[in-house]
Amino acid sequence: MKIQKTIRHILNEDALQIKHIDTGLTNDNYYVKTEHYDVVLRMPKPENHGLFDYVHEGHVLNLLNDSNLEPHLWYFDPNTGIKCANYVEKAETFSIEYLDRAATLMRSFHSLKVKSGKVFSIKDNFEIYRSRIKKPCYDLDFVTEIMNEADAYTHENPILCHNDLVPGNFLFTDTQDYLIDFEYAMDNDPCSDVMSFITENDITDTEVRNQFYYAYFGSLPGPTIQHKLDVFEVAHNALWCAWGLMMLESHQQSIYQEIAALKYQRLCEAYSKTKPTKQ
């Protein structure tokens, strides 16, 4: 069995227990127990080959090696994306009661002000995803101007951002909180990460958003920052709508239809309140 062989190669011990972790759409994740280790093994799904730059992810993991943001890493293969890290016991993924702690964790990450040397262009990824969609369910042409504005913000003074702040990429425990899965981590404007978090967790309530802003920024955003957040809200919803449509065509799974539909709904809501200022 490939998992047994991989674990033996990484830890030089046989797997005593293997349990599939039912999270993640682009990877198969497993809890593995050996005589001396409890780990999570990430195995990228073969059908998603080419979606990620694992060499760059390895570079990012090296940059974050001393930050204690991620669980201890035992192994990473930049050619295959196979990754093995400590299993975190009694960890909870993001839910609304962890809102302030998520903001604190993100602020700590951004305060490192690390640069990876590669920019995460929402616009470029959006166009890549769209180019792979043969029969689009939604017309996304209307976001062009705002996508250009988001791209301009991204390139102004980028620092390392996560870019994929879904609930499962946060781990909260009684002793320490973690960010995990840096496949999309590249340089960006931190406001993009803020809106990645807001949109990926589908936080639409104004009071809850304001609570997060207070926890992250220390105050409510002024007009300039708020406009930037609004622009990134449109850009993120358009990006992941296109991603959902691309994945739906290649995988034919209803989860991708649901993602694309929700993202398109949120895109239209966000677009109605946002006007581009940069051409």
The CATH number covering residue 22 comes to 3.30.200.20
Residue 41 inside a domain? The answer is yes
Whether 82 and 101 map to the same domain: the answer is no
Pairing of strands 83-86, 73-76: antiparallel
How many domains is the chain built from? 2
Last residue of some domain: 86, 113, 128?
Answer: 86
Whether 178 and 266 map to the same domain: the answer is yes
- As a 3-state breakdown, the chain gives helix, strand, coil percent values, each rounded to 5, of 50, 15, 35
Bridge partners of 42, per DSSP, are 29, 83
Bridge partners of 19, per DSSP, are 31
Report the pLDDT value the prediction gives residue 279, as an integer from 0 to 100: 44
pTM: 0.93
Residue 37 inside a domain? The answer is yes
Q: How far apart (Å, rounded) are the C-alpha atoms in residues 71 and 69?
A: 7
Q: Cβ(232)–Cβ(195) under 8 Å? A: yes
Percent of the chain scoring above 90 in pLDDT: 90
* pLDDT over 80 at 252, yes or no: yes
Write down the H helix ranges in 51-205.
54-63, 99-111, 122-131, 144-156, 190-200
Q: How far apart (Å, rounded) are the C-alpha atoms in residues 122 and 120?
A: 6
Residue 277 inside a domain? The answer is no
The CATH number covering residue 164 comes to 3.90.1200.10
Whether 62 and 111 map to the same domain: the answer is no
Residue 237 inside a domain? The answer is yes
39 residue type, one letter: V
Whether 119 and 251 map to the same domain: the answer is yes
Q: pLDDT grade, residue 169 (50/70/90)?
A: very high
Read off the pLDDT of each residue in 105-134 and give the average, rounded to a whole number.
97
Whether 23 and 149 map to the same domain: the answer is no
Whether 267 and 209 map to the same domain: the answer is yes
